[in-house]
Structure 1
Amino acid sequence: MTRTEEDLLGTREVPEDAYWGIHTLRATENYRISGRTINEAPELIRAFAEVKKACAMANMQLKAMKPVKAEAIIAACDEIIENGKCLDQFPVDQFQGGAGTSVNMNANEVIANLALEILGEEKGNYSVIHPNDHVNRSQSTNDAYPTAFRIALWRKVNRLRKALDELADAFEEKGGEFRRILTMGRTQLQDAVPVSLGAEMTAFAHTLREEDERLDNNAELLLETNLGATAIGTGLNTPEGYQESVVRHLRRITGARVVASPDLLEATSDTGAYVSMHATIKRSAAKLSK
């Protein structure tokens, strides 16, 4: 069984039970690149739902959206965030053209159809709740996608930090346990001078503690958001006070210290936080390889 959906290119048949729609269908046909889909990134999906929830709350607060529509969108987002619903409804390839437009539309369609279901409407009845006009209101892929990506990455980095901390604790414990055991330190692939095996373990612990500090510092950079910038950073088509409102809601929803970028135009094109985090993780990986 299928349902008929329409976009500017025409009409297509979409599986009746699918929460995604015509834009997602076209994306799965256009971008068959890696064979890995967004379904494999549940952290990103949940972060997207958090962003969409914050946007709906801000739009409702500023009277840019009717409460009945906003509340249905918020409830749909909560189903994803809290109950993990529809985490299997993101078939878009992880590699795609554009700035993540297909992933953003995948999220918009899933949330719209889930909201329609909550309201007792049929999937695809976008005259009631539309993926773009309602779920994506006051947004663009260029601010919604990077914000969701940063939040998801921030959480993954925190899990990495926890794992490194546990490993450092284990090395410190072994440092005490092996403090009386002597081994040979090696230079240029040759035995050099004796050293305590415990001292080696303790040194491993110290180097991992250093990495944790650097990861923490760079993780904070990920929490600066350009949400409210819309397409290029001008904030076009957002109601007055939107940026302040949406960031405040996002901070509360995520529990993260999200801050608004002071220059939305600059932030929309800036990738410095990713470069810094990549370098820090690469440094940590190099140390672990030793």
Structure 2
Amino acid sequence: MMDDSAVREERDSLGTLWVPKDAWYGVQTARAVANFPISGRRPDADFIIATVRIKLAAAIANHAAGWLDERPYTAIRAACERILAGEHQDQFVVDRFQAGAGTSHNMNANEVIANLANVSLGGRRGHYDPVNPNDHVNMGQSTNDVIPTAIRLTLLAKLPRLLAAVEGMAQAFSDLAEQERDTVKSGRTHLQDAVPTTLGAEFGAYAWTLRRVAAMLAAQKPYLCQTGLGGSAVGTGLNTAPGYRQRAAKALAELTGEPIEPAGNIIAQMQSMSDIAAFSGMLRTLTIEVTRISNDMRLLASGPRTGLAEITLPAVQPGSSIMPGKVNPVMFEMLNQVAYQVLGQDHAATQMAGAGQMELNVMMPAMGSALFDAMDWLGNAIEAATQKGLIGLSVDRERCRAYAHDSVGLATLLNRAIGYAQAAEIAKTSQQSGRPVRDIVVEKDLMRAEDFDRMVLEAAQSAP
């Protein structure tokens, strides 16, 4: 039997329902909680903040237009500011997999804000007077313009943290590049010995690539700043105050510190998730590069006796439950796993971006969640791999040198001096005999040993 002291009765268009007495949310949220026990995961924290900022911006715009009276406006604003300060965020309880478009999350926000506002005005939870969730908190809005705007704001909020993690890894590689700029090693193509390079050049290339792809990701930001807020249900602006779009965008710009502005075509911005899909695509590009670099780090550290072992990664934990003394490249193994999961999130988001119909994309809640997770996971993984995998690694310079001077690829350096055909013969002799190219060149009186060594270093450092 239900304990009447622990619940309160609320009514909506479908009838009455019991709601936890101490809950700041209301009947529509309670229905959604009962309907969607799917993942057990509540909304992303940045997504909650973005949604509440939209509610505050809408209240500011409606009050400025004379549509929202001073008393409910002041109470709604205070309620939003309390949530933005960290209070009652645990009252956003609808599962990430929910009704299409995010109506349940939108109403969750409307009800929490309305109840906080009414109690501040002397009312009770669940009695929506004088502030109504739909008529006042949701004034001039629809789930259909609130949720896509909230997704874009959330991506904007997470972007600096992800970019900072990428820059941290790039800087760590830059530092290593400077440190190892004279460390000659064998280059490898097709996983076979190639001409010499330096470890510094290898690391410097990783840094440059990470910074380039970070810039490509950041270049998507202006598109996310174009909002469809004010489109209402289908983009026509039904039931919105004159000047609402501009006022709401201005308020959001002030609340977020981002150059938010109304999209050139509000209907299109509500129908289309192309900017979000493009952002996801650039997130995928970053992830692909991170995967490649992570794989390289594991190869370079392979060994310690039967692999390349040109570098030694910091030992952060024992590597085996059965083999004593084994240490694995766990941080880059972790980064690889996260990267593959992020690629899956991108694929899901991309498919959902194309799954909208007519004036609305109903897949938005899961689409947003996929990208929110992808950004958080990737940023955290990159930062952890940098701090515990890159910083503090050591280089076996003698091993790098030995590999470089033992490589048959050194015969390539002789092309201009003795021609390709004779250089190929030297390479063949080296391959068959196991003797270094250097020794064969000196033996044939083609070059002095010190001149050959100088040529190897210059070739390794020839890139600008």
Q: If the TM-score is normalised by the length of the shorter chain, which range does it land in?
A: over 0.9
Distance, in Å, in 1 between the alignment partners of 2:228 and 2:145 is 6
Consecutive unaligned residues in structure 2, runs of 5 or more: 1-5, 293-464
Distance, in Å, in 2 between the alignment partners of 1:273 and 1:285 is 18
Q: Which residue of 1 aligns with 2:13?
A: 8
Tell me whether 198-207 or 154-163 shows the greater mean CA deviation. 154-163
Distance, in Å, in 2 between the alignment partners of 1:28 and 1:191 is 60
User: Residue type matched to 2:56 in 1?
Assistant: K
Distance, in Å, in 2 between the alignment partners of 1:117 and 1:174 is 58
Deviations along 1:85-117, whole A, 9 cap, x unmatched? 111111111011220101100111111111122
Tell me whether 100-109 or 118-127 shows the greater mean CA deviation. 118-127
Is the CA contact 2:169–2:207 (under 8 Å) kept in the aligned structure 1?
A: yes
RMSD: 1.0
User: Residue type matched to 1:26 in 2?
Assistant: R
Calculate percent identity across the aligned residue pairs.
42
**Larger Rg, first or second structure (1 or 2):** 2
User: Residue type matched to 2:269 in 1?
Assistant: A
Q: Which residue of 1 aligns with 2:57?
A: 54
Q: Which residue of 1 aligns with 2:445?
A: none
Q: Which residue of 2 aligns with 1:33?
A: 38
- Aligned length in residues: 287
Deviations along 1:198-245, whole A, 9 cap, x unmatched? 001110110011112111111221111001000000000011111111
Distance, in Å, in 1 between the alignment partners of 2:8 and 2:252 is 34
Q: Which residue of 2 aligns with 1:191?
A: 193
Deviations along 1:149-185, whole A, 9 cap, x unmatched? 1111111122111111121111111100011112222
Post-superposition, which runs of at least 4 consecutive aligned residues in structure 1 deviate over 6 A? none
Distance, in Å, in 2 between the alignment partners of 1:15 and 1:32 is 17
Q: Does 1:96 align with 2:98?
A: yes
Q: Helix, strand or coil: the match of 1:124?
A: coil
User: Residue type matched to 1:96 in 2?
Assistant: Q
Q: Which residue of 2 aligns with 1:157?
A: 159
Distance, in Å, in 2 between the alignment partners of 1:193 and 1:97 is 58
Q: Helix, strand or coil: the match of 2:63?
A: helix
Q: Does 1:19 align with 2:21?
A: no
Tell me whether 244-253 or 47-56 shows the greater mean CA deviation. 244-253
TM-score, normalization: structure 1? Answer: 0.96
Q: Which residue of 1 aligns with 2:341?
A: none
Distance, in Å, in 1 between the alignment partners of 2:137 and 2:226 is 22
User: Residue type matched to 2:74 in 1?
Assistant: E
Task: Give 1:32 shift.
Answer: 2.1
Is the CA contact 2:26–2:111 (under 8 Å) kept in the aligned structure 1?
A: yes
Tell me whether 178-187 or 53-62 shows the greater mean CA deviation. 178-187
Q: Which residue of 2 aligns with 1:180?
A: 182
Q: Helix, strand or coil: the match of 2:90?
A: coil
User: Residue type matched to 1:73 in 2?
Assistant: I
Task: Give 1:2 shift.
Answer: 1.4
Q: Which residue of 2 aligns with 1:169?
A: 171
Consecutive unaligned residues in structure 1, runs of 5 or more: none
Q: Helix, strand or coil: the match of 1:193?
A: strand
Is the CA contact 2:110–2:137 (under 8 Å) kept in the aligned structure 1?
A: yes
Is the CA contact 2:246–2:261 (under 8 Å) kept in the aligned structure 1?
A: no
Q: Does 1:239 align with 2:244?
A: no
TM-score, normalization: structure 2? Answer: 0.61
Task: Give 1:69 shift.
Answer: 0.2
Tell me whether 251-260 or 113-122 shows the greater mean CA deviation. 113-122
Is the CA contact 2:118–2:129 (under 8 Å) kept in the aligned structure 1?
A: no
